[in-house]
Amino acid sequence: MTTIAVIGLGNMGGPMAQNLVKAGHAVTGFDLSPAAIEEARAGGVAIARSVAEAVKGAEAIVTMLPAGKHVRAVWAEIVGIAGKGTLLIDSSTIDVESARAVHAQAEAAGLVPVDAPVSGGVGGAKAATLTFMCGGADAAFNRAKPLLEAMGRKIVHCGGAGAGQAAKICNNMILGISMIAVGEAFVLAEKLGLSHQALFDVASTSSGQCWSLTTYCPVPGPVPTSPANNGYKPGFATALMLKDLKLSQDAAAAAGATTPMGALATQLYGLHAAWGEGGADFSGIIELIRGKSD
């Protein structure tokens, strides 16, 4: 059993903390949201009144926070409290620069950092089937892996500090672009009189097949579990896709990489969010492609 603090008990962090409890660990959490606190408490997570109270005496600390500025602020507080050798895992999706900065800060304080953003959405967090993309030293990764295995199915060591964040934003750039392509194909099929099912049956077994089509099909029917069958209620919201695409473009600019499709996808998801669809699933981008704004 490991004593673990989880900072950030929202849609992702809450279920992750509960899965650590199910795996037999002693978990204390903290969040600013009363609703998130109560849900985590119901799942067996002990609740602290502050970050400081949550992390005091913890052998490992997991953060799941909205953005790089939040991770920087919380880790700055943690490094002054946590004992030397404490494992720090950040599963937020943030910019690579911030990830590298907090790694350096943690290591200077004698702590053991890992960046470990996730893929799999809320469903994966609840089912403990997340994919973790990890950055950090070999020894740090090896310490983190057993804890991550309690929350996920696939744990990948991508390289040094920030490599997990780099892998995450590259993956989600692919996802955002591919969903637009699948949406365009279905809209074209509609105009040509081809049924959704016919296109799915062909493309899902041909060279056009991809995750956006076979698992998350943006039209109702072919994949019953996709958000399209539930009014685009989010598994992964448009606002979160837009956040990740913006991170990809910031990284591309900093690295001198050319990503024209990523840039266009960022613009389209920005427009979709501006239409008031930021809280809807990102696969609802097909409605933008159709020209619907209501």
> Which residues are catalytically annotated?
168
- What token pair was written down for 17? 């903390």
